[in-house]
Amino acid sequence: MAEGTDKAREEFLSEAQELIEGLSRSLLGLDELQNSGAEDPSLINEAFRYVHTLKGLSGIFSAKAIGTLAHRVEDALDALRLGRLPLSAEFIDVLLRTVELFWQLLSHEKDGDEPPDLQPILARIRRLTSETSSQQSREEFEFEPALLAVLTEYEEHRLRTCVERGLDLFKVRVRFGLATLDKELDEVKLRLAPLGEVITYLPTGEAASLDAIELDLLLASGSDNNAITQAIGGTNVTVEQVPRRAVGPASSPLSKPQSLEPLTSNRTAMPTQHPDSEIAQAAAIRSVSQTVRVDIRKLDVLMNSVGELAILRGALARMTERLRTDGQRQLASELHRIYRSFDRRLSELQGGILEVRMVPLSQVFDRLTRVVRQISRDVDKSVRLVVTGSDTEIDKLIVEELSDPLMHIVRNAIDHGIEPRERRLEIGKPEIGIVALNAFQKGNHVVLEVEDDGGGIDEKFLIERAVASGHVAASEASVLSRDEIMNLIFLPGVTTRQEVSDYSGRGVGMDVVKTNIAKLGGVIDLHSERNIGTKITVTLPITLAIVSALLVRCAGNTFALPLNSVSEAFSLDPGRIKWIDSREVYTLRGASLPLCRLDQLLELTPLPASNRKRRFVVVAGLGSRRLGLVTDELLGQEDIVIKSLGKSLKQVRGFAGATELGDQRVALVLDVAAIIEEVLRGSEGRELVGSLHE
Amino acid sequence: MSKLARSEQHSNSVLARGLKEFLLFTLAGEPYAVELGRVREIVSPPLLTRVPRAASEVMGVCSVRGLLVTVIDLRRKIRVQQSAATRSSRILLTRTAEDEVVGLFVDEVRHVVRLEGSEIESAPVVLGGDVPDHVLGIGRTGDEVIVVLNLEGMVG
């Protein structure tokens, strides 16, 4: 019983989350339109529907605070869509602020976090909605009172708006079969949609026969009679333009209210007059039921099973090979056919599950858009966020972990990067700063770029900070390369700002960001030009579940190296090794590559020299931090499922987990990021501060 | 792989009489025991993969039907002599307080013994004050003296 309740509650939380995301999307859409001076009533309706459903839902699960807030937001949106209130930038601000509060309330429901204080926002909504409640009255309009009497408030508002926009009004009379009314009406509305807006439809009351019904559709459109007639097609149509300033002649069937009531409230697809109507509810339920919500852990279980199947596939391949070498060609080729078709299906299965795990980055980006608005307002800078590639897809687990680090980066870009308005004007930059958020797929990786056109990073200041915090000795500061200097920003305690603001400047940002990104198997790079801007690039694997790995052997042990962290492998030419500062450095295509002997690092007993023929170097790492791992043998590539090592081994460094190979052996998976960190940090420390650093 | 079949009913009736069941095994020829209820499964040692730079009592990791298990050498843990694995070597799977399944390597599994709670002498009484964490007490069956191990002190 308790379990059932828990499950229902979990459902509630995840559905509420979807509704809030939906609300946020609609509001951001509204904001964008508002900025470009356009309007789209469907967005307001959409937002209204989301918050309306949220209100109902929170009522069922007695999430009282969410219900209260949803109720007020619903009222505000209702006033908005009825035209009682104008849509202002401030209005959108307040609404977007409520989205933040919804998130906080939800996390309060989920994890028992401190609930936010709703009083200030409720007061703001009250103030906004009361200010203008009687702004416009019906009397200002020249429509016939008889017509106004049958229009709902919403329809009246739409009619007014369309007339103000200079559209013409048409009365389209269409005859429908009674039995198929719903379907035919939808069809007609669909055809009319490109031409304009159907404001309402009313029966004429002049039904020609028992099984037919005639409706007058009131259409606002910029087209003419012919275009409309053609668009609808069919013969049962007459189109008549309603003369301006004389809308709804007295003789019009529109003035027969007695037959209207049931139709207006029941046949309207969009909840207009009665948002609580059953139709609105049913629509909400339908739209939800098309998707299946799945706990990501269940997908992990499936993914593991697929991984085990991949191991069987490997065994099958080996079996085929054995039969072939044993001279059983007939059996071998039969088995090979089975293997091929198994392989194909398995790939499909694998692809399918991976696809289900993938979600668009817009989930994070939408949240960031809100953050940008908020911060730029708070630090009083004009910032425009330009987003590209928000439909790029990435593993759900990665998305979850990505939002904090990205938030940090974007905050930094606005707070530190973009200069104050006066400064920008002074040096001839446009007043509005730009923060660009780009995402795109690159092979098995997703690349995220956060770029600002601000002041760039002050090298001198960065060095001062690094010296002050003891990461760099003053004497060495002058010999650092530009890249090395830029990388100082990832050290703990280093900030580029003197004063601490609400948002950043405490120097706890970038090193945490780097750690979090590294946990996801990602790499972070920073590029900055003084007075031009800063660009931070984050490269992430698309998925964490199944990875292609390079299997290597070293001192009798098999290790797996995730291919996404390997750039190349070649056989070692001892002549190219140089010793620099008690460290082996390899010359590769004219550049230096630090070497690390895997057997030494892992304290393995090296193979006796007589057993060694050639040795190999695997170049690990991405971006500017690369390391050559010296190993005895390259075994080849294989798809592996990484399983984490138990808690009893958590203090052992250098391994990301283990994987089962086809022969039931377990191979350890090297944690390339950690090894690079371990090896290079030691050497960087030496270069920079002698032994001060670790 | 061998499994000890235990029926729920059976252990219930044993408990009713105030008896506890212990699994008897040997390390370097000497008898030791752990509470049977804590042992999930007994398996023949699968291929073990050594984990470089792990603590010395960690023999390695292995896969038991897809589950990744860390195997701990009980002989090293209690500092007795280690000999190479034989046909009778076994791994006892147990769940730690941190909810991780770990394997305990033993030389040979003998049988199940039932001991009355009062039959187990507390270790300090027998051995004096300085007793390692992993010793729960000393039990006797017939002439044999058994060291009853405390799994909590053993893993994690």
Residues of chain B contacting residue A653, judged by C-beta atoms under 8 Å apart:
53
Residues of chain B contacting residue A647, judged by C-beta atoms under 8 Å apart:
96, 98, 100, 156
| A-B contacts (CB, under 8 Å) | 72
Distance CA A232, CA A170 (A): 13
Distance CA A608, CA A132 (A): 87
How many residues would you count in chain B? Answer: 156
Residues of chain B contacting residue A602, judged by C-beta atoms under 8 Å apart:
52-53
Of B63, B68, B96, the CB nearest to A645: B68
- Cα A99 to Cα A10, A28, A68, A92, A599, distances in angstroms: 20, 11, 13, 11, 54
Give B105→chain A minimum CA distance, Å. 15
Are residues B53 and A602, on separate chains, in Cβ contact within 8 Å? yes
- Chain-centre distance for alpha carbon A59: 29
Where helices occur in A435-545 by DSSP H, the ranges are 459-468, 482-487, 509-519
**By the CB < 8 Å criterion, does B101 face chain A?**
yes
In terms of CA atoms, which chain B residue is nearest residue A599? Answer: B52
**By the CB < 8 Å criterion, does A207 face chain B?**
no
- Residue B130 DSSP SS3: coil
What are the pLDDT digits (tens) for B98-131? Answer: 778 899 999 999 989 888 877 788 776 666 666 6
For A115, how many CA atoms within 13 A lie in the half-sphere containing its CB?
15
Are residues B58 and A649, on separate chains, in Cβ contact within 8 Å? yes
Q: What is the DSSP string of A58-123?
A: HHHTT-HHHHHHHHHHHHHHHHHHTTSS---HHHHHHHHHHHHHHHHHHHHHHH-PPPPP-HHHHH
Per-residue model confidence (pLDDT) at position A206: 63
Tokens 């939380």 appear where? A13
**By the CB < 8 Å criterion, does B51 face chain A?**
yes
**By the CB < 8 Å criterion, does B97 face chain A?**
no
Distance CA A579, CA A571 (A): 19
**By the CB < 8 Å criterion, does B62 face chain A?**
yes
Which distant-in-sequence residues (6+ apart) come within 8 Å of B92 by Cβ?
A: B23, B25, B34, B39, B41, B42, B103, B104, B106, B109
Residues of chain B contacting residue A655, judged by C-beta atoms under 8 Å apart:
51
Instruction: Say what the pTM is.
Output: 0.47
Distance CA A31, CA A602 (A): 56
In terms of CA atoms, which chain A residue is nearest residue B154? Answer: A648
Distance CA A74, CA A58 (A): 13
Are residues A666 and B101, on separate chains, in Cβ contact within 8 Å? no
Are residues B49 and A666, on separate chains, in Cβ contact within 8 Å? yes
Report residue A232 as tokens. Answer: 């609808």
**By the CB < 8 Å criterion, does B54 face chain A?**
yes
- Helix A396-412 vs helix A509-519: crossing angle, to nearest 10: 160
Distance CA A636, CA A617 (A): 14
Of B46, B68, B69, the CB nearest to A664: B46
Interface probe with B: pick from A666, A675, A679, most Cβ of B within 10 Å? A666
Residues of chain A contacting residue B50, judged by C-beta atoms under 8 Å apart:
557
The DSSP letter of residue A142 is -
Per-residue model confidence (pLDDT) at position A629: 95
Report residue A179 as tokens. Answer: 């039995």
Of B68, B98, B102, the CB nearest to A658: B68
Interface probe with A: pick from B53, B74, B77, most Cβ of A within 10 Å? B53
Tokens 């039959």 appear where? B119
Beta pairing class for B101-106 and A666-670 = unpaired
Nearest residue to B135 (alpha-carbon basis) of B28, B58, B34, B27? B34
Give A671→chain B minimum CA distance, Å. 13
Residues of chain A contacting residue B95, judged by C-beta atoms under 8 Å apart:
none
From first CA to last CA, the distance across chain A in angstroms is 54
What are the pLDDT digits (tens) for B30-84? Answer: 999 999 988 988 988 888 999 999 998 899 999 887 678 999 998 888 888 887 8
Torsion A355-A358-A361-A363 (CA) sign: positive
Are residues B100 and A654, on separate chains, in Cβ contact within 8 Å? no
Phi and psi at B94, nearest 5°, equal -140, 155
**By the CB < 8 Å criterion, does A139 face chain B?**
no
**By the CB < 8 Å criterion, does B112 face chain A?**
no
Of B46, B51, B63, the CB nearest to A649: B51
Contact (Cβ atoms closer than 8 angstroms) between residue A49 and residue A280: yes
In terms of CA atoms, which chain B residue is nearest residue A309? Answer: B66
Distance CA A138, CA A153 (A): 10
Residues of chain A contacting residue B68, judged by C-beta atoms under 8 Å apart:
643-646, 657-658, 660, 666
What are the pLDDT digits (tens) for A238-253? Answer: 787 776 653 333 333 3
**By the CB < 8 Å criterion, does A644 face chain B?**
yes
**By the CB < 8 Å criterion, does A616 face chain B?**
no
Residues of chain B contacting residue A664, judged by C-beta atoms under 8 Å apart:
46-47, 63
Distance CA A495, CA A508 (A): 8
Residues of chain B contacting residue A648, judged by C-beta atoms under 8 Å apart:
58, 70, 72, 96, 100, 102, 155-156
Contact (Cβ atoms closer than 8 angstroms) between residue A556 and residue A546: no
Residues paired with B105 in a beta bridge: B73, B91
Are residues A602 and B72, on separate chains, in Cβ contact within 8 Å? no
- Residue A154 DSSP SS3: helix
Give A654→chain B minimum CA distance, Å. 9
Beta pairing class for A577-579 and A584-588 = antiparallel
Per-residue model confidence (pLDDT) at position A630: 94
Distance CA A158, CA A162 (A): 6
Distance CA A96, CA A90 (A): 10
Q: Which of residues 77-96 of B touch A (CB under 8 A)?
A: 96
Contact (Cβ atoms closer than 8 angstroms) between residue A38 and residue A30: no
- CB-count exposure of residue B30 (10 Å: 0-12, 13-18, 19+): middle
Interface probe with B: pick from A558, A649, A663, A668, most Cβ of B within 10 Å? A649
Residues of chain B contacting residue A670, judged by C-beta atoms under 8 Å apart:
none
Using 70 as the pLDDT threshold, list the residues of chain A that sit under it: 1-5, 131-150, 204-210, 234-235, 243-291, 443-444, 493-509, 519, 521, 543-546, 610-612, 622-624, 662-663, 681-694
Distance CA B93, CA A44 (A): 60
Report residue B155 as tokens. Answer: 């893993």
Phi and psi at A587, nearest 5°, equal -95, 115
In terms of CA atoms, which chain A residue is nearest residue B101? Answer: A646
